[in-house]
Structure 1
Amino acid sequence: MKETSHAADDAGRDRREFLQTSGFVGAGLVAAAAARGADPIPNPLDLTNVGPDKIPLKPFGKTKERVSVIGLGGHTLGLAPTLKEAVAIAHEAIDAGVNFFDNAWEYHDGKSEEWMGEALKGRRDKVFLMTKVCTHGRDKAVAMKQLDESLKRLKTDHLDLWQVHEVVYDNDPDRHFAKGGVIEALDEAKKQGKVRYVGFTGHKHPDIHLKMLAHDYPFDAVQMPLNPFDGTYRSFATHVLPVLNKRGIAGLGMKSLGGNGRPVLKGIVTVEEALRYAMSLPVATTISGIDSLAVLRQNLAIARGFKPMTADEIATLRARCAAAAGDGHLEMYKSTVKYDGDIGREQHGFPKQKEMPV
């Protein structure tokens, strides 16, 4: 797949997407996308475990697994005030029917995995457990060492899903697929029975995701930011999701509130609108940042009895958010280096966040 120049492409792509949505809603938005050969609002995935008091389940790609429409984010679990509250959050989520648990080797220097491991004592078989390998271009040996550390922290002998974390630099795909790289670790981990499914994550640009997918590796899942602003700005929903759905790869959504909740604080969308939008897309689950029981209960109330938005509702919300989305300030993980992790930055020769000039 030909590598593109993001600097050259973004202005044109973002302007096209803005024009296609800022003045048109509903059928107009769908028609504009169809004209360029991509349907931005594919049919939602089928739901099971439905009912007013239930958390629905969706299919995990082409596998026989089914996961909850909303998942528990590991990074924010590590931000809970205490281990006791983190355990309470995880237990209440499981009891409510949430079975997708997200994490990463590097979150809070391992604390997120350790706390989740404590929470899953006696409950491991009730969840679909995912964590991420954080080599950021380093080799297979580093990846396998991290896997063993993650398993120890999480107090389990296997992961349901192991994903390459934070594929956000243009040369990341080349580094990951290089001889002796992390992709070989994915294969080895599955061979050893330590991992059932594999995937990758990233938040920067859909072209980088597409470059990873161009290798035709049998990924089971791909994680990306999905929210009403993404619908018209460097959109993973319109450029990556259709590819995943065609191949039977499970899409995993994150950053439904823009990563920091600013769109809600600024009054552009409500929590319910943003979460319902993300869960209405053809993804297996929407991973939600939850650092308190109050936030958990708020999100559970939205997920219980969930019914997907219609295509017109999705199009209308995207169009309403298009003007605010256009300059990237509501998705700064795409438009700046603000959300690029320090470990990845170090591997690419960039200073850590705290060392950056003001």
Structure 2
Amino acid sequence: MSHDRRPDGPVPPPRGGEPLIPLRPFGTTKATVSALGLGGHHLGDVPSVEEAIRIVHAAIDGGITFFDNCWEYYNGRTENWLGRALTGKRDRVFLMTKVCTHGRGKDLARKMLDESLRRLGTDHLDLWQVHAVSYDNDPDLAYARGGVIEALEEAKKAGKTRFVGFTGHKDPAIHLKMLRLGYPFDSVQMPLNPFDAGFAPLSFEHRVLPELLKRGIAPLGMKAMGGTAAAIKRGVLTGEEALRYAMSLPVAVTICGMETMDVLKKNLKIAQGFQSLAAEAMDAIRKKCAALAADGRYEPYKVSLKYDNPETRQPHGFPVEPENKEMKEMFKEAGAKPK
């Protein structure tokens, strides 16, 4: 049985009376979101703001309502570009961005929220999430007096965001601790793909997804193709298999990076009129990936430092990774070379 359902709120213009992309419930709230969402980080890979605007407009016209972003992506550029693209279209989307305190307090979170709202050209978010909960002590820091959890609650009460949540791609145990400490999050974002399913110690599908469904929290999937699509480039499986697998899980939305119009069109072709795969087809994809999933080689964000944003590492006193995209851009802007 499909977990897609008809909308109960404003959506992009339908064709034939149905939404172009199925809309799904956002947890136990009355909100709905498109089954496919547009990722914020890849928007920073687009060559120009003009092309980014064209991609966003085509995504909205194609039925995507969920738009992901983050305060720290490309040092603020992706929020700025998305904000420009949403001029006159804000009421057609479910807008999410993330706060990047990474263990620091609510005063910084408030400042980041105001900056995000200004960049995005709006007076409120639909969803504000704690970004990249990655280290063992991150949950304790988030819940500490004066921590980011207090900022989430204040923003919600002030009407600056409708919903709140958290994200991470390192370790399911950290997600489970965030939940166990008790704050009533509306959503949780995590990597979900066929390789995650076969990476037993660090599988979000097997360890976190069932807990979210039990609690009525909206699961948000990301990294459907492993972040780099390396397995697809090497022929382990096709991009369509990976995306259909991720979208067939019981999630509110699968968030994908779409940095070119070609990639967007391919994903829209899969998402428009989407029907979830049968259990047998899901098992077949898992089995195809199982032999190469067990050591995390196709999920480098779990087992390497390369995808750790400098904002994540620096507050903990860890050295930054010079190959990170944001670090390269910072060095370029400063006219310096990575050490």
TM-score (norm. length: structure 1): 0.86
1:84 paired residue number: 50
User: What is the number of equivalent residue pairs in this alignment?
Assistant: 316
The letter of the residue matching 1:235 is: S
Pair 1:193-2:159 in alignment: yes
Match of 1:230 among 178, 190, 196: 196
* Residue 47 (structure 1) shift: 2.9
2:312 paired residue number: 344
1:23 paired residue number: none
SS in structure 1 at match of 2:205: helix
1:248 paired residue number: 216
* Residue 213 (structure 1) shift: 0.5
Checking the alignment, whether the CA contact within 8 Å between 1:87 and 1:115 is kept in structure 2 is yes
Match of 1:106 among 64, 68, 72: 72
2:284 paired residue number: 316
**1: CA distance, partners of 2:142 / 2:2:** 31
* Residue 156 (structure 1) shift: 0.0
Q: Matched residues, percent identical? A: 60
More RCO (CA 8 Å, sep 6+): 1
Checking the alignment, whether the CA contact within 8 Å between 2:163 and 2:186 is kept in structure 1 is yes
Pair 1:134-2:92 in alignment: no
2:4 paired residue number: 46
* Residue 159 (structure 1) shift: 0.2
* Residue 205 (structure 1) shift: 0.8
SS in structure 1 at match of 2:221: strand
Distance change >3 Å, CA 181–CA 44, structure 1 → 2: farther
Deviations along 1:18-57, whole A, 9 cap, x unmatched?
xxxxxxxxxxxxxxxxxxxxxxxxx752333698982111
Match of 2:241 among 273, 279, 285: 273
1:290 paired residue number: 258
**2: CA distance, partners of 1:355 / 1:275:** 27
**1: CA distance, partners of 2:39 / 2:4:** 23
Distance change >3 Å, CA 257–CA 68, structure 1 → 2: same
2:177 paired residue number: 211
Checking the alignment, whether the CA contact within 8 Å between 1:44 and 1:281 is kept in structure 2 is no
The letter of the residue matching 2:209 is: L
**2: CA distance, partners of 1:187 / 1:70:** 28
* Residue 355 (structure 1) shift: 8.2
SS in structure 1 at match of 2:194: coil
The letter of the residue matching 1:135 is: T
2:301 paired residue number: 333
Checking the alignment, whether the CA contact within 8 Å between 2:195 and 2:286 is kept in structure 1 is yes
**2: CA distance, partners of 1:319 / 1:117:** 41
SS in structure 2 at match of 1:78: helix
2:84 paired residue number: 118
Checking the alignment, whether the CA contact within 8 Å between 1:253 and 1:285 is kept in structure 2 is yes
Q: How does 1:58-77 map to 2 (within 5 A)?
A: 58-77=24-43
2:117 paired residue number: 151
SS in structure 2 at match of 1:354: coil
**2: CA distance, partners of 1:114 / 1:122:** 15
* Greater alpha carbon shift after TM alignment, 45-54 vs 313-322: 45-54
The letter of the residue matching 1:47 is: R
**2: CA distance, partners of 1:75 / 1:333:** 14
The letter of the residue matching 1:159 is: L
SS in structure 1 at match of 2:322: helix
**1: CA distance, partners of 2:5 / 2:44:** 30
Checking the alignment, whether the CA contact within 8 Å between 2:41 and 2:78 is kept in structure 1 is yes
* Residue 249 (structure 1) shift: 0.3
SS in structure 1 at match of 2:281: helix
SS in structure 2 at match of 1:190: helix
Checking the alignment, whether the CA contact within 8 Å between 1:167 and 1:208 is kept in structure 2 is yes
Distance change >3 Å, CA 336–CA 247, structure 1 → 2: same
- Long gaps (5+) in structure 2: 8-13, 325-337
**2: CA distance, partners of 1:70 / 1:48:** 15
Deviations along 1:319-344, whole A, 9 cap, x unmatched?
21011111111001111222111111
User: Which stretches of structure 1, 4 residues or longer, exceed 6 Å deviation after superposition?
Assistant: 49-53, 355-358
* Residue 316 (structure 1) shift: 1.7
